[in-house]
Structure 1
Amino acid sequence: MNRNNMHDNWFELNHPEKIDSPALLVYLDRAKKNIEKVIQEVGTADRLRPHIKTNKSAEACQLMMDAGIKAFKGATIAEIELLATVGAKDILMAYQPVGPKIDRFLTLIDRFPEVKFQCLIDHVDAAKALNEKALEAGQTIGVYIDLNAGTNRTGIAPGAAAEELFEALVAMKGIQAVGFHLYDGHLRDPNLKIREEACDAGFAPIAQMREKLEKKHQVTLDVIAGGSTTFPFHSKRERVTCAPGTFIYWDEGYASGLPEQSYLYAALLLCRVVSLPTSNYICVDLGYKSIASENPLDNRVKFLNASDLEPVSHSEEHLVLEAKEGHTYKIGDVLYAVPIHICPTVASYQEALVIQDGEQVASWKTLARDRRITF
């Protein structure tokens, strides 16, 4: 059974007329259940380093900390600054700092001396630039070598190239190589066995490389591996920290693409019918300023209380949907929508309205949606 459908009207608000649209809603109890589930999935909170790119709010991070999660990662200076301000003590910037970002990163380290900050490196030139700045600042920066296991987005191939980079880092006085980082989110086959086999094949050379370098240098190297599609596989390995992020809110993309995972929808969009332009078209206020729109038109949103609607066109402030002739939709009708991709959707909203028992009980500012918070 799809746990999201156990109670058909769980998402409905008692007083939707009090909330302007479009609005981002976070269902507090469901988010807490998702946090509990991810900890159970990996066995202990100490094996998690969640990515906060999904939630970008202090309160959501605090929920995870309250559950016992101590280590986190973010992709931007703003995200890791947010983590530091809420009291996280072990923070990875899952990005290679280049240019002015190096100075901002070092400024953040100086402002929060009690926090262990680390970052990614995948090229010797970037390492040299970071090393030079770190030495000038009197700092030693812990870095993870970012590995490319097939995403071809960032990273260096495991094996000889990564080993050569590791040796270069060992010789630098402003940098300390502490381990390897792997994001293999390109592995999305809905067949669980095929996905797991591909994940294992991609990890095998990493395990061999770690063992070789640990023996040679007499060190212990950490490995951070896996996003939402693969972290359950990596959680079975010894000395691997898992780094999913979407679990806290979930979305339709993962709900349909990862049928073996049963996280709950915990973040929805409330929108309204704003026009009836033809006899079989309706328009809602969910333009592409309000929901992630990188996917094809028919793969951006799922309506929980209007499954018969089909998208026709999408623009900045409008989403036109086809309804059946003779439909009963009216101006002002409230629709509840699950984004296909929640992470960039959250970034479109200044705040999330927190829902409990059908009522808004709080609002959470999306502080890290901007590139800068205080500097």
Structure 2
Amino acid sequence: MTDQDLHAALIGVPGSRRDLNTPVLVVDRPALERNIARMAAFAAGKDLKLRPHAKTHKSVDIARLQLAAGAVGLCCAKIGEAEALAEGGVTSGLLITSPVVSAPAIARLVALNASTTDLMAVVDHPANVAALGAAATAAGKPLKVVIDLDPGIHRTGVASAEAAVALLQAIQAQSGLTYSGLQCYCGMQQHIESFADRKAALEDRAAHIQSVIAALTAAGAPPPIVSGSGTGSHRIDAELGIFTELQVGSYVFMDGQYLACDIAGAGAEASPYEASLFIDARVVSANTPGMATIDAGFKAMSTDAEPPQVLAGAPEGSRYFFMGDEHGAVLPPSGEAAPGLGDRVVLGAPHCDPTVNLYDTYHVVEGGTLVALWPVSARGRSR
């Protein structure tokens, strides 16, 4: 049965969150909307544009909320995510932040370009520039491309100012391509917990980015946009004067990794954003004293971060441990009673992007009431 089959009848029923079939992905709508509003206000106050990253939520519904709050478009990690948003009506201002290289993917890219407005894709290799240029020329509509700059991760992007200028020249040689700017995402720095340490690391990377901007400008092509930054770095990046737009993503949900960071330099406890994404689970076995087994294991959340915090349904200070694909253990502090059979336990989401990708549906709640079911529109659209 689908989530719609299981839960549509619960929408609007007071207290219906407690009756959801578990494990289930839950979004607190008021908290989500506060996060969206706060980031939009921050960007506007710094005269920066906002192009949030949809790889976090993969949701047409959340994208619409971000656009309504003033975002100029959405970033997508893969062309499949961009296609999913476009299918849902989000057809303007999409930026694909990973190179699109294979022949089938390039064919899809030019088709998407034909049906959307202001689509952009990153490039980091002359051969890819040539392939995109030929495809766009044949399709009859120029494709906007953004030079991807390697911030030092060696994952994607050109590695130097010289390579950026050479790539610019390759783009300019293609009549089917339009040079649209520069992208640099400093992913390694996002989760440095100390604000001071994160600031120092980002200032080091800023000098590298500025040297590339200067080289492109000297070559007669100052980047129309400089896109980058993230949830962990945006407060610092806004003061560096490099970026014209922010690619922030996880701020909508604030998973455990980001909640551990001092985002604004006021202590981690004073984050300007709040948790809005949760996993509701239920005790399915309570035969071992001092422990309860819940129905959320490896298949219910990402495992590349610390185990989730137990937020509700168990004594304060209870800890979660993975117990396999389908199960987890909740251990209360010594002397405290474990939750009982059938009790609901609320977990904070670990790394939100891969956690979201495990679910078909967001169960949107206000208080204890289910108010909507939103599809995870781009779930599995990783190609």
- Normalised by the size of structure 1, how large is the TM-score? 0.88
Residues 21-56 of structure 1: CA deviation (Å, up to 9, x unaligned): 011111111111101111222235861110011111
- 1:47-62 correspondence to structure 2 within 5 Å: 47-62=49-64
Instruction: Kindly provide the amino acid, as one letter, of the partner of residue 50 in structure 2.
Output: L
User: How far off its partner does 1:110 sit?
Assistant: 2.0
1:366 aligns with 2:366: no
For 2:253, the equivalent position in structure 1 comes to: 249
* Aligned-partner Cα distance in 1 for 2:243–2:321: 49
- 1:101-250 correspondence to structure 2 within 5 Å: 101-112=105-116, 115-187=117-189, 188-217=191-220, 219-236=222-239, 237=241, 240-250=244-254
- 1:9-88 correspondence to structure 2 within 5 Å: 14-43=15-44, 47-84=49-86, 85-88=88-91
Distance 1:329 1:144, change over 3 A: same
The runs of 5 or more residues in structure 2 that have no matched partner are 1-13, 263-267
What's the RMSD between the two structures over aligned residues? 2.2
User: How far off its partner does 1:361 sit?
Assistant: 0.8
For 2:9, the equivalent position in structure 1 comes to: none
User: How far off its partner does 1:326 sit?
Assistant: 6.3
For 2:317, the equivalent position in structure 1 comes to: 308
2:276 aligned to which of 239, 260, 266: 266
* Aligned-partner Cα distance in 1 for 2:147–2:137: 19
1:321 aligned to which of 326, 330, 353: 330
Contact kept, 8 Å, 2:237 with 2:243, in 1: the verdict is no
Distance 1:76 1:140, change over 3 A: same
Distance 1:158 1:148, change over 3 A: same
Helix, strand or coil for the counterpart of 2:309? strand
1:95 aligns with 2:105: no
Instruction: Kindly provide the amino acid, as one letter, of the partner of residue 112 in structure 2.
Output: L
Identity %: 26
* Aligned-partner Cα distance in 2 for 1:322–1:133: 57
User: How far off its partner does 1:153 sit?
Assistant: 1.8
1:280 aligned to which of 290, 312, 323: 290
* Aligned-partner Cα distance in 1 for 2:204–2:230: 16
* Aligned-partner Cα distance in 2 for 1:288–1:31: 25
Residues 55-90 of structure 1: CA deviation (Å, up to 9, x unaligned): 111111111112121221111223212333334411
Instruction: Kindly provide the amino acid, as one letter, of the partner of residue 73 in structure 2.
Output: A
Contact kept, 8 Å, 1:46 with 1:70, in 2: the verdict is no
* Aligned-partner Cα distance in 1 for 2:221–2:184: 22
Contact kept, 8 Å, 1:234 with 1:240, in 2: the verdict is no
- Normalised by the size of structure 2, how large is the TM-score? 0.87
Helix, strand or coil for the counterpart of 1:369? coil
* Aligned-partner Cα distance in 2 for 1:220–1:346: 34
Distance 1:243 1:318, change over 3 A: same
User: How far off its partner does 1:194 sit?
Assistant: 2.2
Instruction: Kindly provide the amino acid, as one letter, of the partner of residue 318 in structure 2.
Output: L
Contact kept, 8 Å, 1:158 with 1:206, in 2: the verdict is no
User: How far off its partner does 1:214 sit?
Assistant: 2.4
The runs of 5 or more residues in structure 1 that have no matched partner are 1-12
* Aligned-partner Cα distance in 2 for 1:218–1:181: 14
User: How far off its partner does 1:148 sit?
Assistant: 1.0
Helix, strand or coil for the counterpart of 2:146? strand
Helix, strand or coil for the counterpart of 1:43? helix
Helix, strand or coil for the counterpart of 1:289? helix
* Aligned-partner Cα distance in 1 for 2:72–2:317: 43
User: How far off its partner does 1:218 sit?
Assistant: 5.2
Helix, strand or coil for the counterpart of 2:155? coil
Distance 1:92 1:328, change over 3 A: closer
Residues 82-102 of structure 1: CA deviation (Å, up to 9, x unaligned): 333334411101110011211
Give the aligned length: 356
Distance 1:326 1:239, change over 3 A: closer
Runs of 4+ in 1 over 4 A off after TM superposition: none
